[in-house]
C-alpha cells in the first residue's frame, strides 16, 4: 500500500529555503511534496546573477567562505565542482588615515593577532594603544551569555582607530552595520570562545582563533569560492534537484495552525487563496517571520521583532578594455575617510573583480562597489545614475581611474541584511525554543546563525531534518484529507 505524499510549504526561495526543499527530497524522496513560495519574481534571495558586458556577474553575494564546509559540500553534491573557482593571489587594501595601504595580515575581522603589523594603518597614538592591549588587565567574560558591542569592546581595549579603520570596514562588508550596533558574541563567536577559554586579551584570542601564521613556502587553502557562471547556477541547480513546485510572485499573508497541520493564506485580501500543509518552514527575513508567527507563536514573533535589518546596494561596472586597475583585489574604506576636497566617500568598499577572479580577468576590466550601512538611508535614496557617478568619483580618488563604464548594473537590497546586535544569540535561542514547541514548524535563514552562504545552508539543512522527523512520526495513511492544495 502506498501512502499519500505529505506536503511541506517552504516560505522563501532564497538559498536557505531552497536548501530545505533539496534536502527534504533527499531525505524523503517521493513521500513528500514540497512547494516553495517566493514573494518576488525570482528565486535566490540575496544570490543574484545578472549580465554585465555580455557575461554573468553576481550583484548579491559574490562568494562563499570555505572554512565552513557546507558551501563546498553542496557544490560537490550538486555536481558543480568543475565550475568552482578560488581567488587569485591579489591582496586587499584599505583606505585609512587618508592613504591606501595593504590590509594588515593576521587579523580576525580587524582584531589583530600581531598588533605590530598595524603600524601602516594607524596613527602613532593609535599604534601605541594597539600594542599595549596585551598588557591591559586580563579580559574575563562576565558569565554565560556575556556580550558587548564591537565598538565598546575593541574601543576600550585597542582604541577607536582599530574600530574605525579595521573592524568596522570588515564587518560593514558582511552586515552593512555599524560597530556600535553589532554584538561580538554573534559576529565574532570564535573570538568570544577563545576569551571564555581564558585567552585573557583580544590579541591572544585572535592568535588562538587564527592559529599559527604560514611557514615559509607554505600554501594555505583558499578562503573563498565561487562559480564561473555566477552563484545563480547554485540556485538553479537546487531548484531543479528539489523537485519542488516553485510559485513565484506569491505573497503569504497569513499562517495559522489548523486541525490537520497548517493553513496558509496567499494573495490579496480581496481574492485570497488558502493552502494546507503538514509542515511549514519559514526562510524569510525577520520582519516577515515576525508577522507570520504573531498569532500562533507569539514568543518567536516577539524575538524576531528584535532583529533590525539594514539596506545596501551593489554596483557592478565594466570599464573600457585595457583600463588598468590597481594590482590589489580591492579596497575597503575606513569610517570617516574623505576625498581631498573634504567630500565623504559614498562607497564602503570596492572589489576589483578582474584582479580577484581569474574567470573575470578573461572578460576585461570589471569591478564591484558596495554602498550603504545601517542608518544611511539618504545615500540609497539617490537614483542609479547618481550612485554610479558618486562611485566613479570615489574610484578616481582612490585609483586615478576616470574612465566611464561601458556597462553597469545597480542592485538595491532593501532590508537585505539582518543586524546581529547586542544579545543576538539570546534572541535566536528564544526563537528556536519557541519554534521547538510547535510540531511541524521550522525556521531557517540569515537572521539566525550567520549571514554567509554556508551558515544559511546549515540552517536549511537543520530545518529539513526537523521537518522530516516530524513527518516520519505523523505520516498519514492513504486517503487522508489534505485540504485544497493546488494540482
H helix runs in 228-383, sequence order: 232-242, 286-293, 298-304, 353-356, 358-361, 377-380
Q: Which set of grid coordinates corresponds to residue 426?
A: 539570546
Q: Report the candidate in 338, 425, 342, 416 with the shortest Cα–Cα distance to residue 373.
A: 416
* Cα(387)–Cα(3) distance, integer angstroms: 56
**What span, in angstroms and rounded, lies between the C-alpha atoms of 176 and 165?**
15
> How many whole angstroms from its chain centre is CA 365?
26
Total residue length of the chain: 487
Grid coordinates belonging to 333: 574604506
List the pLDDT tens digit at each of the 487 positions of the chain: 457 899 999 999 999 999 999 999 999 999 999 999 999 999 999 999 999 999 999 999 999 999 999 999 999 999 999 999 999 999 999 999 999 999 999 999 999 999 999 999 999 999 999 999 999 999 988 888 899 999 999 999 999 999 999 999 999 889 988 999 999 999 999 999 999 999 999 999 999 999 987 776 777 788 999 999 999 999 999 999 999 999 999 999 999 998 889 999 999 888 999 999 999 999 999 999 999 999 999 999 999 999 999 999 999 999 999 999 999 999 999 989 999 999 999 999 999 999 999 999 889 999 999 999 888 888 999 999 999 999 999 999 999 999 999 999 999 999 879 999 999 999 999 999 999 999 999 999 999 999 999 999 999 999 999 999 999 987 745 444 333 333 2
Amino acid at each position: 500500500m502506498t501512502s499519500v505524499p505529505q506536503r511541506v510549504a517552504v516560505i522563501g526561495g532564497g538559498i536557505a529555503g531552497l536548501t530545505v526543499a533539496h534536502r527534504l527530497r533527499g531525505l524523503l524522496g517521493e513521500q513528500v511534496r514540497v512547494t516553495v513560495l517566493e514573494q518576488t519574481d525570482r528565486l535566490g534571495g540575496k544570490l543574484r546573477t545578472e549580465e554585465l558586458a555580455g557575461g554573468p556577474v553576481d550583484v548579491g553575494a559574490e562568494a562563499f567562505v570555505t572554512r565552513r564546509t557546507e558551501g563546498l559540500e553542496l557544490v560537490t553534491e550538486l555536481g558543480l565542482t568543475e565550475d568552482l573557482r578560488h581567488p587569485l593571489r591579489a591582496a586587499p587594501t584599505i583606505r585609512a588615515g587618508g592613504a591606501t595601504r595593504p590590509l594588515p595580515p593576521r587579523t580576525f575581522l580587524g582584531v589583530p593577532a600581531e598588533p605590530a603589523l598595524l603600524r601602516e594603518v594607524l596613527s602613532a597614538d593609535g599604534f601605541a594603544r594597539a600594542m599595549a592591549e596585551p598588557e591591559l588587565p586580563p579580559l574575563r567574560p562576565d558569565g554565560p551569555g556575556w556580550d558587548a558591542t564591537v565598538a565598546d569592546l575593541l574601543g576600550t581595549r585597542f582604541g577607536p582607530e582599530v574600530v574605525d579603520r579595521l573592524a568596522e570596514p570588515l564587518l560593514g562588508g558582511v552586515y552593512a552595520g555599524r560597530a556600535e550596533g553589532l554584538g561580538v558574541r554573534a559576529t565574532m563567536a570564535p573570538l568570544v570562545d577563545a576569551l571564555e577559554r581564558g585567552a585573557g586579551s583580544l590579541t591572544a584570542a585572535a592568535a588562538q582563533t587564527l592559529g599559527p601564521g604560514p611557514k615559509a613556502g607554505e600554501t594555505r587553502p583558499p578562503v573563498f569560492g565561487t562559480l564561473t557562471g555566477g552563484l545563480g547556477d547554485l540556485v538553479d541547480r537546487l531548484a531543479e534537484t528539489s523537485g519542488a513546485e516553485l510559485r513565484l510572485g506569491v505573497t503569504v499573508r497569513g499562517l495559522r495552525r489548523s486541525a490537520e497541520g497548517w493553513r496558509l493564506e496567499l494573495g490579496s485580501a480581496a481574492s485570497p487563496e488558502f493552502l494546507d500543509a503538514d509542515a511549514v518552514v519559514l526562510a524569510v527575513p525577520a520582519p516577515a517571520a515576525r508577522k507570520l508567527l504573531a498569532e500562533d507563536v507569539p514568543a518567536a514573533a516577539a524575538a524576531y521583532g528584535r532583529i533590525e535589518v539594514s539596506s545596501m546596494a551593489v554596483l557592478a561596472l565594466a570599464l573600457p578594455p585595457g583600463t588598468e586597475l590597481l594590482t590589489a583585489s580591492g579596497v575597503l574604506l575606513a569610517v570617516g575617510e574623505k576625498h581631498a576636497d573634504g567630500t565623504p566617500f559614498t562607497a564602503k568598499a570596492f572589489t576589483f573583480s578582474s584582479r580577484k577572479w581569474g574567470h573575470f580577468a578573461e572578460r576585461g576590466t570589471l569591478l564591484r562597489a558596495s554602498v550603504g550601512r545601517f542608518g544611511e538611508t539618504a545615500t540609497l535614496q539617490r537614483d542609479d545614475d547618481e550612485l554610479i557617478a558618486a562611485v566613479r568619483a570615489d574610484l578616481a580618488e582612490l585609483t586615478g581611474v576616470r574612465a566611464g563604464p561601458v556597462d553597469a548594473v545597480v542592485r538595491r537590497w532593501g532590508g537585505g541584511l539582518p543586524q546581529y546586535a547586542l544579545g543576538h544569540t539570546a534572541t535566536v535561542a528564544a526563537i528556536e525554543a519557541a519554534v521547538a514547541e510547535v510540531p511541524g514548524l521550522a525556521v531557517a535563514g540569515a537572521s539566525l546563525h550567520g549571514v554567509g552562504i554556508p551558515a544559511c545552508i546549515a540552517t536549511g539543512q537543520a530545518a529539513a531534518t526537523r521537518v522530516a522527523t516530524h513527518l516520519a512520526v505523523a505520516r498519514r495513511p492513504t486517503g487522508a484529507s489534505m485540504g485544497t492544495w493546488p494540482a
